[in-house]
Amino acid sequence: MATARRDGAPPCARGSVAPPVRASVDVSLVVVVHGGGASNISANRKELVREGIARAATEGYKILKAGGSAVDAVEGAVTVLENDPEFNAGYGSVLNVNGDIEMDASIMDGKDLSAGAVSAVRCIANPVKLARLVMEKTPHCFLTGHGAEKFAADMGIPQTPVEKLITERTKKHLEKEKLEKGAQKADCPKNSGTVGAVALDCRGNLAYATSTGGIVNKMVGRVGDSPCIGAGGYADNNLGAVSTTGHGESILKVNLARLALFHVEQGKTVDEAAELALDYMKSKLKGLGGLILVNKTGDWVAKWTSASMPWAAVKNGKLQAGIDLCETKTRDLPCLQ
């Protein structure tokens, strides 16, 4: 397992990054983002991925610094990633067995547990924005397929032709998958890309957002964890906010996001909570993945059991980002301090 750290501790033995324990309970602005648990990221893409994830975290933090809410920040950060072809969400979503795009997203406000989600949407450039509209403009939590697309039209969201969301890289990815493995098997614990963000704002409110194109070569209509509240993410001001990534079917079975927050509720640190939740999924189902978590006092962690997980965090005007085990790059953002 890998953990991201930002406290100058010795090199980590597990895949995780976590800050030092805070001495104060004063609210600090925090944004953490992830770009999906990945089997591997090619060397020629790593810098593009690192730049994209840092750009998303910076955008979210800018929104918080300007007085925006945690919901505004996670929506803004995820929108940046949906617009970036290097990530499996929005523009750049992977293709299903028919070479088509079906996207899922969800968002949640920890202040009152308001939530919105969409699944299997096709002609929407930014599913996370549609998920927020479901949360704020309907009495429902979840819309899917044609119903979600009709709602988008009613809300004035322009349709984006599917071909505009497909990239040459995703076409080649599908071809390679079909040649190598044939149809995706439901019992195959395969990693998939997802994007997500969590944030803590100046009012002490928490939020998460998660968005994905799903698994390459998936069956038509397949929906994973990303739009499912409690699995793909969760936010509660009394506990924290989580966004997850990895093998969707495994994440659904253990309700990974809420499981991590259960451990926070039991008094565990964010690092311990994330590790316990991910270890349970791996031991029970052999499912690999990752998550980002921030608690109500601003402690945060990025942890993964997959080979890598692009992540970035901004707190106190300091940006940290990484992709692989124990790799963290830090830089100050003077204009945001």
Q: Are 64 and 202 in contact (CB under 8 A)?
A: yes
Give ∠ CA 35-309-14 in degrees, rounded to 5: 155
Q: How many CA atoms lie within 13 A of 181 on its CB side?
A: 14
* Tokens matching residue 305: 């059991």
Q: Is 194 a catalytic residue?
A: yes
* Tokens matching residue 39: 């089997």
How far is residue 161 from each of residues 81, 123, 125, 262, 278, measured CA to CA in Å? 19, 6, 9, 41, 37
| CA-closest candidate to residue 315, choices 222, 202, 217, 232 | 202
Q: Is 267 left (phi over 0), alpha (psi -120 to 50) or beta?
A: left
The terminus-to-terminus CA distance of the chain in angstroms comes to: 32
d(CA 186, CA 237): 35
| Among 3, 194, 212, 244, the one annotated catalytic | 194
Cβ-based neighbours of 296, under 8 Å, separated by 6 or more: 200, 204, 206, 237, 238, 239, 240
Would you please indicate which residues are annotated as catalytic (active-site) residues?
194
